[in-house]
Amino acid sequence: MYTLYCIDYFRNIMLSLIYKDYTYFRILNNRIEGCLMNFIKAFFQSESAGGISLLSAAILGVLVANSPIADQYFAFMQIHLGPMTILEWVNDALMALFFLYVGIEIKKEMISGELDTKEKRVLPVLAAFAGVITPAIVYYFAAGYMPEFRHGWGIPTATDIAFAIGVITMLGNMVSAAMKAFLAALAVIDDLIAIVVIALFYGAGVNFMDLIAAAAVTGLLVYTNKQGYLRPLPYCVLGLVLWYLVLKSGVHATIAGVVLAMTIPFKGKVLDKEVYPMEEWAHALKNWVNFFIIPLFSFLNAGVSFADFSMENLFHPVIIGVSLGLILGKQLGIFSAVYILVQSKVIKMPTNTTWAEIYGTAILCGIGFTMSLFVATLAFPPGITQEMAKVGIFIGSIVAGLLGAVVLILAYQIRKVRGKI
């Protein structure tokens, strides 16, 4: 059948060339364009697109940082646009929009998602806390006992939502719906904890007058919400003022994005028609975050120069601490927490899951990337230590992603052999 199709295809091409009738070529061109557009549309709508874009941008950053234009790459980041450099605008301003999006997703899950009841929150909350504490402990024993590296304990504690969910989505029906929901809820809680860690431990010296002013603006945002204002303009204006005050206060400016997210109305009525402002904000931000902000952040922050890198550097305490924290610390904390809670009958085992599947999901939570890179830029100033932290993030995240995927595939095959699928 396929052979006959190929013969017919080439016959049409030859006839078109002989009789100079290019209608077939136009039809073929339209079909190719249609297929290409459908592929592009499907890619941008897929859940894994954000993770693929992030990884591609990070790899590109590493390649450029080790290319003949490396000097221009690093110089570009330090160009001043007004009061801040390009790198500072990305890390302090654009990332505030990323945290606004993350905050909206957290609020959505708490109102009508995987975290909307106390029972649903218990397992991912406790597992997330364990998945933050154990990587920090692993890092401390590998590097944190040295005063000059101690500030990096928060780097391996975070999970990259986009990348972890992207990996599990690419596995399709090999992963149960319960595990997908568990990972989504756990990653959301993990990000919430990371936000608190950044606010408490990675700010500069606090200016209390600016902080008080920021608290007053937050009060105005809450008042605006309570009064039933649904249009985005007052929230945008007050959010911009809040960002500026938080930036000046010494608390990291991205926290303003989370605070703003918590004050955006979930739903309301306009002319007797029910509207969902928070959903509209999330929809407006999603593509900008996934395909511009996060890739740009990754491209600028993941660029590590290996010009002076040697095999001895692989045993640098920060590389070992960060990579082992992500690979071992995450899985140990999350899996142990779930196992103890289920065995002690505090909670029930997630439906239609196995211990192998839970273990694979726990390993996947070691994908740090975005959040870990972000914390690394706050923990250490630009220089060799920050570079080593980024290398550790790359090693830990890639190993955790590959190992987690392998374990989940094996878990699926075991369930298939046992006839549980």
The reply to whether 72 falls in a domain is: yes
| Closest by CA position to 239, among listed 48, 104, 86, 416 | 104
Question: Is the model's pTM score more than 0.85?
Answer: no
Query: What's the burial of 210, exposed, middle or buried (CB within 10 Å: 0-12/13-18/19+)?
Result: middle
Tokens, residue 236: 């945008």
Task: Determine phi and psi for 84, rounding to 5 degrees.
Answer: -130, 160
The reply to whether 164 falls in a domain is: yes
Q: How far is CA 47 from the centre of its chain?
A: 12
Beta strands (DSSP E) in 126-276 are 268-270, 273-275
Task: Determine phi and psi for 239, rounding to 5 degrees.
Answer: -65, -40
Please tell me the distance from the alpha carbon of residue 344 to that of residue 4, in angstroms, as a whole number. 65
Whether the Cβ atoms of residue 378 and residue 389 lie closer than 8 Å to each other: no
The reply to whether 96 falls in a domain is: no
As a whole number, the mean pLDDT across the chain is 84
The reply to whether 394 falls in a domain is: yes
Please tell me the distance from the alpha carbon of residue 267 to that of residue 10, in angstroms, as a whole number. 58
The domain tally of the chain equals 1
- The 10s digit of each residue's pLDDT in 252-308 is 788 899 899 999 999 888 777 888 999 999 999 988 988 899 889 889 988 888 777
Residue range 140-144: average pLDDT?
Answer: 90
81 beta partners: 84
Whether 332 shows a pLDDT value over 90: the answer reads yes
Query: What's the burial of 182, exposed, middle or buried (CB within 10 Å: 0-12/13-18/19+)?
Result: buried
Cα 379 to Cα 87, 111, 204, 247, distances in angstroms: 16, 33, 11, 17
CATH number for the domain that contains residue 375: 1.20.1530.10
The reply to whether 190 falls in a domain is: yes
**Domain carrying residue 378:** 57-83+123-176+185-202+299-417
Tokens, residue 376: 């690394």
The reply to whether 331 falls in a domain is: yes
| Closest by CA position to 178, among listed 411, 414, 399 | 411
Tokens, residue 129: 């806390």
Whether the Cβ atoms of residue 238 and residue 224 lie closer than 8 Å to each other: yes
Least confident segment among 47-51, 319-323, 325-329, 395-399: 47-51
The reply to whether 115 falls in a domain is: no
The reply to whether 326 falls in a domain is: yes
